[in-house]
Structure 1
Amino acid sequence: MTTRSDDATAVAGAAEATASPRPHYIEHWDAEDVAAWEAGGKQIARRNLIWSVIAEHVGFSVWSIWSVMVLFMPVGVYGIDAGGKFFLVAVPTLVGAILRIPYTVATARFGGRNWTVFSALVLFVPLLATLYLMLNPGFSYTTFLLVAALAGVGGGNFASSMTNINAFYPQRLKGWALGLNAGGGNIGVPVIQLVGLLVIATAGNTKAWIVCAVYLVLVGAAAVGASLFMDNLGNQKADLRAMGAALKYRDSWVIAFLYIGTFGSFIGYSFAFGQVMQINYLAGGDTPVQAALHTAQIAFIGPLLGSIARPIGGKLADRIGGGKITLYTFVAMALAAAVLVTASTNGSTTALVLGFTALFLLSGLGNGSVYKIIPSIFEAKAQGMDELGASEKAAWSRSMSGALIGFAGAIGGLGGVGINLVLRASYNSPAKSATMAFWIFLAFYLVCVVVTWAVFLRRPAERGVADDSQTSVLA
């Protein structure tokens, strides 16, 4: 949809947000102008948010497609063992994490609408390559790795989508808007796993091409919808220099580290949970077909809960404080990891499922709360820049927040790589179990607890941090 005349007129008449004669283009946008927001700005923002969620959703699905494909790959047919599969799903995680850096600046450079359309169309490449490879299982492991790497383009969509929506929404609503945008995208992980379940249940574990075919249609719909209903903003600025400037603040590095613990956990477990459960069922005597079906029946539950929890985490952070919610989340994640250690040691499938489910739910809450802290940091910093006017402060805050969103997203994605590699090493150890990996995860969450408390909650007044735990501005 082009920028509707009634939307544009309302916004232009209420504040300095004026519509350009160019279709799908808004020359000036000030989300903090309450009058403009109520006069029509929120309708424009909501429309862009909806299609941003849809496009990011299919991006996440394609990014995580190999977590589903491995359920269709019995060793006897494809010749790839458990260790090889863990590495196979780690590759798109790594590529997606790296691509988040350039994707962060893409919306300001090319326009939010334009880049959303392009990034959706690019998803056709890994889908078609995956479809062909699954129909022809005789290719080498290296070929599988290369095609899996192509799926990483879906991971980059998150950074561009979040940066774009960060620009559309006012500070008071960013926690909810960013949480909803990210959560809706994250749901792409359990949805593609549900599609995989339906295929396995109805057509067996040899019809992986059906999953690819379904997403070819969905990707096309997302690209068309973004083209028709989204807008480009003219007053956006986000470049690699802005990212460099954002990283001069110590809190930016802390946020990136904490995001390893929240988003890294979500995406890492999303890619690995199905394999962990499949190994568990095979060890229990299931045939490959039975193990694939049993795994598919539960693999989507954790990612679904984590995705739903993300906007809730953002909303709680809006009300209580990002630092507090993040601290409570990591304490609970450490306890959930302890459950996994016990479950792995005692061989309890029920406890294993419960522990992972808790980690998914908590990582979703933490994703929302950590991302709420980001705009708060730079909003507080901007208020101290007396040499800038109100509009310049808002522009600087958006630019810095957008840059850090992309950087934190990239570093957080690397956490997903680490989870799969640690699990691979644990299963390849003499013990042939995931117990060692679970101990490592437990220790990491305890470190995150200490870091969150020390930076955002310990004597904030003495450290130049506002009483609201969302606004740490340490240089």
Structure 2
Amino acid sequence: MAGRWIERWEPEDDTFWKETGERVARRNLYLSVFSEHVGFSIWTLWSVMVLFMGPAYGVDPAGKFFLISMATLVGALARIPYTFAVARFGGRNWTVFSALLLLVPTVAAYLAMEPGTSYTTFLLVAALAGIGGGNFASSMTNINAFFPLRKKGWALGLNAGGGNVGVPVVQLVGLLVISTAGATHPRIVLAVYLPLIVLAALGAALRMDNLAPVRNDTGAAKEALRDGHTWIMALLYVGTFGSFIGYSFAFGLVLQTQFGRTPLQAASLTFIGPLLGSVIRPVGGRLADRYGGARITLWNFAAMAAATSVVLYASVQKSLPVFLTGFIALFVLSGLGNGSTYKMIPGIFQAKALARGLVGEAAAAHGRRLSGAAMGLIGAVGALGGLAINLAFRQSFQTAGTGTTAFAAFLGCYAVCFTVTWAVYVRRPAEAVSATAPAPAYAEV
């Protein structure tokens, strides 16, 4: 079984799925979750490292926000090549390589984390951590190919949610270190992750599979780029995942800067929101499978706007309890929205295939082909939303000393996302695509 290549893969065939496909797909899913989990932890490592950077490091709050912005930026950009690496090298093979690559930013941070290191060095090391963000794109593209359409919401939600849990876990590790060893021992956090990286690579090497039917298709990539739905979904994913990752990076710094929390106090609160947002992501996928991703996404944006209004009020009133309530609600809602928006992607392209007259396996293959290509692009743009959030916080704190202006901007963004979701995917299309091909029922995606 050299290379562990699977030549035949037909998940939409019920007999194949029950006899062979489901068992193999689940095994790859669980190993993918672990590898992506470690990748997310390394990507968001600097949300923890900045809590260790006391006055001796000579980095002000604006400088710290810029450090985490560098990691966010590189993670977003890395998602594009990582998307196409699965088909080029195989899902198993790329998972092994991308996991081992995480040793680079981890070892670099281990060497750099001490007072006296130049800010330029910190910027470079934080940027290296961004490669962990690419693991999400390759993992989601890989798992998308393993599961039938009716299971994608659950599978993609579990894969992404399990990966997202890497954010609160690294923050919990940071909390444990700060509360026991103190805020002067960041290297202990890094030492914890070195063996986990090796385990992720080893598990993928021994138990994951490559799918031979999945091949790079530059035509699919170009078609996805030209399709307006790719960019509309990228905007919606900015609103959901961009919020999740941006808030995950910034939460601890906001608590320290705006509410005067100590590193220990900030670390004891930072993990709660990302944990809840990660755990609930598969629920968003399940709800989307049952009720339609567009409907769940629409009302989720309405709820995110309401939660942001609470946070905005708390920021003005300087009320930490109200702030925490609203901010944690935002994490939960961003997690739900992550699950529902990602379920929409394969559903949209499947609906378009059916509208073109394709049926059965031909429609399913067309949907897999375009949704796989679109996912990486959408994931990359969505992650750039996290960069925008970090930069908005940096500017807001630099000019006004609080995050109030940034929260007002986020409220406007959620209103835009709500409107776009309703206009494009929820309301009934006004007319048919042609006399023989009805318009896709996007409210069902």
Where on the TM-score scale, by shorter chain, does this alignment land: which range?
over 0.9
d(CA) in 2 for partners of 1:155, 1:453: 30
Q: Contact 2:348/2:442 (CA < 8 Å) preserved in 1?
A: no
Q: Is the 8 A contact 1:26 1:233 kept in 2?
A: yes
Aligned to 1:77: 56
Q: Which residue of 1 aligns with 2:117?
A: 139
Contact kept, 8 Å, 1:96 with 1:154, in 2: the verdict is yes
Letter in 1 for 2:139: S
Shift of 1:457: 1.1
State which of 405, 422, 430 in structure 1 corresponds to 2:392: 422
Counterparts of residues 69-108 of structure 1 (less than 5 Å):
69-74=49-54, 76-108=55-87
Structure 2 counterpart of 1:47: 27
CA deviation vs aligned residue, 1:211-237 (integer Å, no higher than 9, x gap) = 000000111110000111100000003
CA distance in 2, matches of 1:70, 1:80: 9
Contact 2:46/2:126 (<8 A) preserved: yes
Specify the alignment match of 1:398 in structure 2.
368
Q: Residue 230 of structure 2 is aligned with which of 238, 247, 252?
A: 252
Distance in structure 2 (CA, Å) of the matches to 1:327 and 1:90: 28
Matching residue within 286, 295, 319 for 1:315: 286
**Which among 93, 102, 112 is matched to residue 91 of structure 2?**
112
Counterpart residue type for residue 102 of structure 1: P
Rate the CA distance shift 1:389–1:173 in 2: closer, same or farther, 3 A.
Answer: closer
1:376 aligned partner: 347
Residue in 2 that maps onto 1:442 = 411
The CA distance in 2 between the partners of 1:247 and 1:111, in whole Å, is 23
- Shift of the alpha carbon at 1:423? 0.4
Q: CA deviation at 1:250?
A: 1.5
**Could you report, residue by residue, the CA deviation over 1:363-401 in whole angstroms, capped at 9, with x for unpaired residues?**
000011101110011112223455x78544433321211
Q: Please list every run of 5 or more consecutive structure 2 residues that lacks an aligned counterpart in the other structure.
A: 433-437
Q: Between 142-151 and 373-382, report the one with greater CA deviation.
A: 373-382
Equivalent pair of 2:258/2:401 in contact (CA under 8 Å): no
From 394, 407, 411, give the equivalent of 2:377.
Answer: 407
- Kindly tell me the number of residue pairs found equivalent between the two proteins: 440
Q: CA deviation at 1:82?
A: 0.3
Distance in 1, matches of 2:213 and 2:365, equals 8
**What does residue 14 of structure 1 align with?**
none
Post-superposition offset of 1:465: 4.3
Other-structure match for 1:332: 303
Match of 2:402 in 1: 433
Instruction: Show the counterpart of 1:17.
Output: none
Query: Which of 210, 214, 218 is the aligned partner of 2:196?
Result: 218
Q: Distance in 2 between matches of 1:321 and 1:77?
A: 52
Q: What is the aligned-residue identity percentage? A: 59
Residues 309 and 364, structure 1, Cα contact 8 Å, conserved in 2: yes
Q: CA deviation at 1:467?
A: 4.1
SS in structure 2 at match of 1:247: helix
Q: Which residue of 2 aligns with 1:294?
A: 265
Displacement of 1:354 after TM fit? Answer: 0.9
Aligned CA-pair RMSD: 1.4
Distance across 1 between alignment mates of 2:354 and 2:238: 29
Deviations 1:421-460 (A, max 9, x none): 000000011x311111110011110111111100011223
Distance in 2 between residues matched to 1:201 and 1:40, nearest whole Å: 48
Amino acid at match of 1:246: A
| Paired position in structure 1 for 2:435 | none
One-letter identity of the residue aligned with 2:412: A
> Is this contact kept in 1: 2:354–2:440, CA < 8 A?
no
After superposition, give the CA deviation of every residue in 1:163-186 in whole Å (9 maximum; x if it has no partner).
Answer: 000000000000000000000000
Looking at structure 1, the residues matched to 76 and 306 of structure 2 have their Cα atoms a distance apart, in angstroms, of 27
Decide which moves more: 21-30 or 213-222: 21-30
